[in-house]
Every structure is written in structure tokens, then in C-alpha cells.
Amino acid sequence: MASGQEPALVCSNVSRWFGGLHALKGVSVTIGRGDIFGLVGPNGSGKTTLVNAITGFYPPQEGSITFEGRRLNDLKPHHIARCGIARTFQNVALFRGMTVLDNILMGRHIFMNPNPLASLFYWWWAQREEIAHRRKVEEVIDLLQLESVRDEHVDVIPLGLQKRVELARALCAEPRFLVLDEPMAGMNQEEKEYMVRFILDAQEALGLTVLIIEHHMDVVTAICGRILVLNNGAAIAEGPAREAIADPQVVEAYIGKARDVA
């Protein structure tokens, strides 16, 4: 984090085990407000596990995670979402059989307060709430240029667009901190370039802090200020993207994995 910058998220000595597997080994990192921060490492190095710890899916068993000064360790994922953290998933996790519009609208669920009695007596209030949700959804559809597919079923649109719909759904939760788990996975070059543009546009327009897991190093160096590199659950390098990627330990971690696979 740059000196004088305010921290958004602080992980201190975060550890997580799955049975006998030590998947995160005392990882510490501070992410500054407004940064696009990269999380990098070979397959199985613990990137998604760290994201799952931050978002409450698999809370850390040791260490602490704070967001804007508030401890997240004991909060459920939906409470963490209400604190202002939204995420997308490594494998597209959209509601099949539903349209693009309905999927994006689901991003508003953290603000919905389903109380049938209140809705009956205060129909005008419920209606006003519905209009506010729709307005936010339309804003995001505009920002991510999804107008032409809004009424399509998500099952029939290309993967690149499905990933953009997931991003739209996350943005509808009005996060201040956005976690993207491999948003470019499976995309061709053109789709990747579009996605990079939309992430940068969203970050700038909405003043977000972004944590992004990414395997494409060209993307990492293009959009991330700082990165953390994990290997076998441990942090092996942290710093400005180009410098950290060139660190001999990082080069060895990637070459070592390639050797194991060959």
C-alpha cells in the first residue's frame, strides 16, 4: 500500500486448513482504498481460499481480517456483503433459466426486505423501493453495455457476456470492495480486452477498491498496481506488479509447477 493511503482491507496472519491440508499459511496483506490489487500464484496456491476467507465462505481459523476497520472473521457471507464487499466466482455462477435482467436484479437482494404485510399496507413504499432497484440495475446495464442482451436467457449468451453479467450483478450490490475470481478465465483476446475496459470503467465510475485473481500476466501488469503472490498457501512476494512477478522465488514457483506437470 502506498504511504499515506488509507487501508480498505487488512489480512493479518490468516490461516485456513482443510482437514490435514494447510491451504493458507499465515498470510498478511493490506490493500489500499481505491487500488486494483492482484492476487497471483500457481494452481492450488490458495488464492480462492483467501478470497473465500475474506468473503466469509470459509472463514479463517487463525488470524484476522478487517474491512474499513471492522472485523469480518465471524460474519456470515450475507453480512459481509452488507458491509460493502461483493464478489464474482471462478466458475460462472448465474441463475440458469433466467434472463440477464433478472440475474442482475438478484444483485439487489441484500437491500430487499421481504415483508408481505408491510408491502400490502405500504404498497406505495414497496413500489418506490422497486423503482430504486430498477434504477440502479439500469445504471449498471448502461455502464457494462448489456442493453442488447438484457432479455436473453443467460444460458444462450457467450461466456464473455456471462462473466460480464456476473460483474453487473456484483456491482448492483453497490460494493465499495469488489472481489473478482478469474474474471477472464476461458475468454479469447477480444473478450479479455473488453473485460479489462469494463473493470477499469467500473472502478473509476464507482470509486471501487478491487481485488482480482488473475492468471493472465499481461492483464495483471496492465491493471494492477500492487500484487500478492502465493505459493503452497504462503505469501512469497508482494509489491508493484512487474517487480513482484520478476522476483526469483515467483519465477521458480511457476517453473517448478510447470516441471511437476511435465
Which of 44, 77, 225, 239 touches ligand ATP (CB under 6 A)? 44
The whole-angstrom separation of Cα 189 and Cα 198 is 14
Instruction: Name the minimum Å distance from CB 38 to ligand ATP.
Output: 13
Segment near ligand ATP (CB under 6 A), from 43-51, 105-113, 155-163, 241-249? 43-51
The whole-angstrom separation of Cα 53 and Cα 121 is 41
Q: Determine if 236 is a binding residue for ligand ATP (CB under 6 A).
A: no
CA distances from 58 to 19, 53, 191 (A): 13, 5, 31
Q: Is 152 exposed, middle or buried (0-12, 13-18, 19+ CB in 10 A)?
A: middle
Contact characters 148-167, ligand ATP, x per CB under 6 A: --------------------
Segment near ligand ATP (CB under 6 A), from 40-48, 61-69, 107-115, 234-242? 40-48
| DSSP secondary structure, 118-157, as one string | HHHHTHHHHHHHHHHHHHHHHHHHHHTT-GGGTTSBGGGS
Contact characters 125-144, ligand ATP, x per CB under 6 A: --------------------
Q: Which residues pair with 210 in a beta bridge?
A: 36, 178
Q: Determine if 77 is a binding residue for ligand ATP (CB under 6 A).
A: no
Which of 4, 20, 43, 262 touches ligand ATP (CB under 6 A)? 43
Q: Determine if 48 is a binding residue for ligand ATP (CB under 6 A).
A: yes
The whole-angstrom separation of Cα 64 and Cα 217 is 29
Could you list the residues that contact ligand ATP (CB under 6 A)?
18, 21, 23, 41, 43-49, 90
